[in-house]
Amino acid sequence: MKLATLRGRRDGTLLVVSRDRRHAAKATGIADTMLAAIEQWTDVASQLQRLYEELNDGRVADAFPFDASRCAAPLPRSPQWCDGSAFLNHGRLMERAFNTPPIPEFDTVPVMYQGASDDFLGPTDDVPLPDERDGIDFEGEFGVIVDGVPMGVSATDAVKHIRLVVQINDWSLRGFGPREMRSGFGFLQAKPSTSFAPVALTPDELGNEWRDGRVQLRLHVEWNGQWFGHPCGGEMNFGFGELIAHAARTRRLSAGTIIGSGTVSNVDRAAGSACIAERRVIEIVDEGQARTAFMRFGDRVRMTARDAEGGAPFGVIDQRVVPAAIASNGEAQR
Residue 222: strand pairing partners: 227, 302
Pairwise CA distance, residues 15 & 148, whole Å: 22
As a whole-number percent, the residues of the chain with pLDDT over 90 amount to: 82
Write the pLDDT tens digit of every residue in 71-126.
Answer: 999 999 999 999 999 999 877 887 776 666 777 777 888 989 999 999 999 999 99
Q: For the chain, where do the domains classified as CATH 3.90.850.10 start and end?
A: 81-333
Question: What pLDDT does residue 333 have?
Answer: 60
Reported as a single tens digit per residue, the pLDDT across 306-315 is 998 899 999 9
What pLDDT, in 10s, does the model give residues 238-261? 999 999 999 999 999 999 999 999
pLDDT for res 329: 46
Q: What angle do CA 178, 179, 182 make, to 5 degrees?
A: 85
Question: How many other C-beta atoms lie within 10 A of the C-beta of residue 172?
Answer: 24
Class of domain 81-333: alpha beta
pLDDT of residue 334: 60
Q: Is there a contact between 128 and 193 (Cβ–Cβ < 8 Å)? A: no
The pTM score is: 0.94
pLDDT tens digit sequence for 203-244: 999 999 999 999 999 999 999 999 999 999 999 999 999 999
pLDDT at residue 328 tops 50: no
> What's the whole-number mean pLDDT along residues 124-144?
97
Sign of CA dihedral 119, 312, 209, 63: positive
Q: What is the pLDDT of residues 154-171, one digit of tens each?
A: 999 999 999 999 999 999
